Chain A
């Protein structure tokens, strides 16, 4: 187990290093005149020269890379072209919201998808309940095929504007997160439920389930003690993968629910060609995802005794 964790740490650091180089190159290779972008519509040539000095745009790439890495060490992610705000602060202001939204979506997704996939898997095993099978596949397909844009708009319409149960937008109270989280979770939730069902069917056909059945336990015990833990390892791996998709899905949803997260900031930065902000956000999201994956891996090592050996 310890060697597994050490190996995990090593690969995670290697991947981080690649991420840092990649994000740096991304900004360096960006098209267009950075100084002009920073200066805006009314900038004079003198102002542009000043900006080039301020932002080190006049220095060679190697020097800039050293400065970039040096800055990263001190938590300095550069300065926004558009607002001249420190990128680190832009991210710090929004990262919490993004994570809160992502974690809530994961929770909603897991709490719906895992039991649903498990129950439907149990009920449709051995080609039983064909109607339920077809209904489940159709329902999850529809949910997985609806553009998030529409899902978000419909949820806002029904629960915020029509029923007035939840706030329309923003992150003003704890209930604010529910609608955007549901909107984001719907699609991965359908996919996860289908995968959990397949995995459940897979586990159900395992010999150890037959062994468990031979012990004549109640179905509740059979599913919770013998089947669920085996489905969960798969579910956990999948959730780690889906987490990234949740953060991605958030970009559109954040706009509709005016959720002050990194997605909104990223889209704004792309519109403004604000490369340091793009760079910082990509770096930060990459970091979050790497950490989530590493956590999932570590959890797997802890949960499933077989993983550690692989």
Chain B
């Protein structure tokens, strides 16, 4: 024990001199992991997007209501198969180059070029080719799409569609760590994995039309990195950060802190119960999928999976997204063990003397796979089915091995899949659920649902007025066939102290809208 005391004494002596620097007059936020690259077209992580939002401009932006508002483009003319943007005046790159139509077009062309290997190209330009042209005289940029994409405008408001300045286009590798943008902030200090300090540009006379914002924009935006949620919460408690997004039980702790503002944002898209549709798997049978769905108490799942901080929904689309329609989920299987029993009997199963489900002497076995950050969710599924008489087993791993098992498309029947999108549009489910099966596409459950695929194509090609009805119809098909069961929409609580923020999604805020309370 003497030892501990001594260690404590050493610590105590060491610390008297250093009192944590409190964030004053500036905003300090926390990323849950380090960014991968500061090239906005190439980053794959929300952390990279968050950085890009502060360092780059976009042609349009989203306001607090989710409406698309002018940014570099003062006006636009949108069609499902393209858009013509009118580029405004006054914006300059950090190096002083004025941002005009030619620069915007060059950036868009680089983003659309398949050789760039931009991971989210498809979200903006669809699966087909995209042609970008511009008119120097009129200061317009025109994007023409081969395959229609009704999410084009929404996606242009997102960080992956950021406008890269000519210096970046000239030497793209350099953008990995050195941003070349015209955004509200410039990176002045970069300590990888630890702290990034950004200064507000003092010549900033442009920006998105985000409505009336009270307070003054921060001169300094500091971004810290902490992978540990509890540590992130501690940073907020001690005042070392004044904007943090938190999930899990630490929410209770921060909510109890004095003079704190809190916003809860539902992620775009529920986490759903994904079934393996590969031939030969028992979950290929709709009756079995429906029975398994009825056997899950989703309120309980919410507690196991999201510590009770999620929202149980009947749809994959969440109220935080465009085109949310609760009626779509009217037929979503609820917790009903009697109904599950009937369905299994209908599918040819019977309980044996031990109460276990069997068909032709073979037990009904379900193999669940999951990964660590799904908390007790996968275990809850397994336990629920076991108690119902199904021979359920669970293989947990870290994300990497879960993803590999999923990709291998063998040896699993059910898993929780985050049908989350970075944009508030239902389009992202399409590829994940009905795209071509592996290895050609990202359809891990191996499902082929031509009806949904057709409906989704129609929705992507639709104009703004028809779009939502078509998406609702498409999701209806999906849910009616019990292809997947919407489980819980996760909520992220963002706590702020003395700062007002506007969230773009659960964990990403709009840096242009940061305001310090006066």
Spell out A's residues near B (CB within 8 Å): 32, 36, 40-42, 44-48, 50, 82-85, 89-90, 93-94, 97, 108, 111-112, 116, 135-136, 138-140, 142-143, 153, 155-156, 159-161, 164-175, 178-179, 182, 185-186, 189-190, 193, 255-258, 260-261, 264-265, 268, 270-273
Q: A85-B36, A260-B192 are in contact. Are A135 and B2 (CB under 8 A)?
A: yes
Report A80 CB to chain B, min CB distance, Å: 8
Q: A85-B176, A175-B17, A258-B227 are in contact. Are A167 and B6 (CB under 8 A)?
A: no
Q: A83-B37, A143-B3, A164-B20 are in contact. Are A170 and B224 (CB under 8 A)?
A: yes
Contact assessment for A255 and B228 in the assembled complex, using a CB-CB cutoff below 8 Å: yes
Q: How far is the CA of A155 from the CA of B399 in the complex (A)?
A: 29
Q: How far is the CA of A270 from the CA of B372 in the complex (A)?
A: 14
Question: Which 8 pairs across A and B sit closest by C-beta, in order of nearness?
Answer: A175-B18, A260-B193, A93-B192, A83-B36, A258-B226, A139-B1, A260-B194, A165-B15
Contact assessment for B193 and A93 in the assembled complex, using a CB-CB cutoff below 8 Å: yes
Q: How far is the CA of A174 from the CA of B17 in the complex (A)?
A: 10
How many B residues face the partner with a CB closer than 8 A? 57
Contact assessment for B7 and A170 in the assembled complex, using a CB-CB cutoff below 8 Å: no
Report B409 CB to chain A, min CB distance, Å: 12
Contact assessment for A159 and B117 in the assembled complex, using a CB-CB cutoff below 8 Å: no
Select from chain B the residue with minimum beta-carbon distance to A85.
Answer: B176
Contact assessment for A179 and B36 in the assembled complex, using a CB-CB cutoff below 8 Å: no
Contact of A168 among B225, B227, B235 (CB under 8 A): B235
Q: A156-B234, A175-B17, A265-B193 are in contact. Are A139 and B3 (CB under 8 A)?
A: yes
Contacts of A36 in B (CB 8 A): 407, 439
Contact assessment for A164 and B19 in the assembled complex, using a CB-CB cutoff below 8 Å: yes
Query: Is B25 part of the binding interface, using a Cβ–Cβ cutoff of 8 Å?
Result: no
Select from chain B the residue with minimum beta-carbon distance to A274.
Answer: B400
Contact assessment for A193 and B3 in the assembled complex, using a CB-CB cutoff below 8 Å: yes
Contact of B2 among A139, A175, A182, A257 (CB under 8 A): A139
Count A-B pairs with CB separation below 8 Å: 180
10 A/B residue pairs, CB under 8 Å, sorted by A: A41-B442, A108-B7, A112-B6, A135-B1, A167-B18, A169-B234, A178-B14, A186-B3, A255-B228, A273-B404
Contacts of A153 in B (CB 8 A): 230
Contacts of B353 in A (CB 8 A): none
Of A82, A83, A167, A258, chain B has the most CB atoms within 10 Å of the CB of: A258
Select from chain A the residue with minimum beta-carbon distance to B438.
Answer: A36
Contact assessment for A112 and B195 in the assembled complex, using a CB-CB cutoff below 8 Å: no
Q: A45-B440, A257-B231 are in contact. Are A170 and B10 (CB under 8 A)?
A: no
Contact assessment for A139 and B4 in the assembled complex, using a CB-CB cutoff below 8 Å: yes
Contact assessment for A270 and B400 in the assembled complex, using a CB-CB cutoff below 8 Å: yes
Contacts of A156 in B (CB 8 A): 231, 234
Contacts of B36 in A (CB 8 A): 82-85
Query: Is B259 part of the binding interface, using a Cβ–Cβ cutoff of 8 Å?
Result: no
Report B396 CB to chain A, min CB distance, Å: 14
Contact assessment for A161 and B234 in the assembled complex, using a CB-CB cutoff below 8 Å: yes
Query: Is B456 part of the binding interface, using a Cβ–Cβ cutoff of 8 Å?
Result: no
Contacts of A268 in B (CB 8 A): 33-34
